[in-house]
Structure 1
């Protein structure tokens, strides 16, 4: 193995606190029932539409009112993207380990590029990240393998020599479809309905925390 790719939200970076703060603030302002933190956390990986649906479950996603609320959410998030957000505990030394051994690492995410870049810039990761692939860059987002192949091409490394780490079934499916070695980050924002049978995701490896992830990476990268 020669490189490591990460999903963004719930795998590399713990963004849930900012989503929780913004969604609960919207609930209070609109005098809606306040959505509990666990429900928000489990939907972070599903994107802005899922976030707003928690607040307005009765609205169709193509309804003009829903779309206006979605835009409001995106604007709030864009302005407050790193208030309580940070890398998961143990991830800073893990990235330093990869860099010290000249192992390139990057990100393949379904988060829009403008938000992904803002997040990485705020955390001083933009220059350290070897490749960033977002839905804007491809015709088909994860679980399609196209973004995985694009990342491998930009790294100039065979997909079969790349490890992909993610916390959502589509992450593992995308990695498997590209014949990458897949690691399920069970510490992430696992969908509620998928938590009880992680083996069904068919990841090559399941880890419960970042120190475990570091051990697995050291083994497969031979560092």
Structure 2
């Protein structure tokens, strides 16, 4: 029997597996209204999401970490986000089904995210992925977050697979850098939270896909 090329599929969370933009943008707009210059265009904010809460706070308020108010604003943003966590986030089309197909094929799946466990765990518990990921690695679990390979290497250990037999899928350059450094096959997806000047085809991924449907089809072809 021919051996399958992969034993595990590992996903980034926001912008790859789950569309959380509506919630993250809502919390951002509240920050803009309270401490900034007013709401900004939805699509402009959406493209910033992958940069994390620090960048969002700076963009919304016009101050950076050198300002004594910055950390308080960041915590306020996270608290506002937590209030609406899971209220409108949705799986990208086809991802619930493809996770089930991965498991049915006898393979395992996991998540490596730069989202804090405080948010990642309850979010996943409110969505319909079955089975649940066999590993969920957040910055709380490692000393260095992506783009360092440590989180992906930890996930592979928890899944019981060699990194060379795993695929890592993400929508940001740091995802591909981390996956490549870990020794995984890497897949860049173009449908996530990507700024206009970013070009996923230049990130060095092994595969670059346009849509969630393309991702499902590619995974299905490797089961």
With normalisation by structure 2, the TM-score equals 0.92
How far is the alpha carbon of 1:62 from its aligned partner?
Answer: 3.6
1:136-158 per-residue CA deviation (whole Å, 9 max, x = no partner) reads: 11111111111111111111101
Runs of 4+ in 1 over 6 A off after TM superposition: none
Q: Give the secondary-structure state (helix, strand or coil) at the position aligned to 1:4.
A: strand
**Is structure 2 residue 202 aligned with structure 1 residue 182?**
no
8 Å Cα contact 1:120-1:126 kept in structure 2:
no
Give structure 2 stretches of 5+ with no counterpart. 1-5
Q: Which structure 2 residues correspond to residues 48-59 of structure 1 after superposition, within 5 A? A: 48-57=53-62, 59=63
Deviations 1:169-195 (A, max 9, x none): 000011111110110011111133213
Consecutive unaligned residues of structure 1, counting only runs of 5 or more, are none
1:73 aligns with 2:85: no
Aligned-residue CA RMSD (Å): 1.6
The separation in 2 between residues aligned to 1:172 and 1:21, in whole angstroms, is 28
Q: Secondary structure of the residue that 2:169 maps to in structure 1?
A: strand
How far apart in 2 are the matches of 1:177 and 1:101?
27
Tell me, what secondary structure is at the counterpart of 2:69? helix
Output the CA distance in 2 between the equivalents of 1:61 and 1:30.
15
Partner of 1:215: 217
Q: 2:134 aligns with which of 119, 124, 130?
A: 130
Could you say which residue in structure 1 is the equivalent of 2:10? Answer: 5
Alpha-carbon distance, 1:98 to partner: 1.3
1:183–1:203 CA contact under 8 A, matched in 2: yes
SS of 1:60 mapped into structure 2 = coil
Q: Offset of 1:55 from its aligned partner?
A: 1.1
Please list, as runs of the form range in 1=range in 2, the aligned pairs for 1:166-205 lying within 5 A after superposition. 166-195=170-199, 198-205=200-207
| Aligned partner (choices 25, 33, 58) of residue 20 of structure 1 | 25
In structure 2, relative to structure 1, the CA distance for the partners of 1:62 and 1:127 (3 Å cut) is farther
Match of 1:37 among 23, 35, 42: 42
Counterpart Cα distance in 2 of 1:5 and 1:206:
15
- Counterpart secondary structure, 2:48: helix
Q: 1:156 aligns with which of 157, 160, 163?
A: 160
Which one of the candidate residues 93, 96, 105 is aligned to 2:97?
93
Instruction: Answer whether contact 2:31 2:61 (CA < 8 A) is retained.
Output: no
In 1, the alpha carbon distance for the partners of 2:163 and 2:221 equals 18
Q: For the Cα contact (< 8 Å) 2:100–2:130, is it kept in 1? A: no
Give the paired residue count. 218
- 1:80 positional shift: 1.0
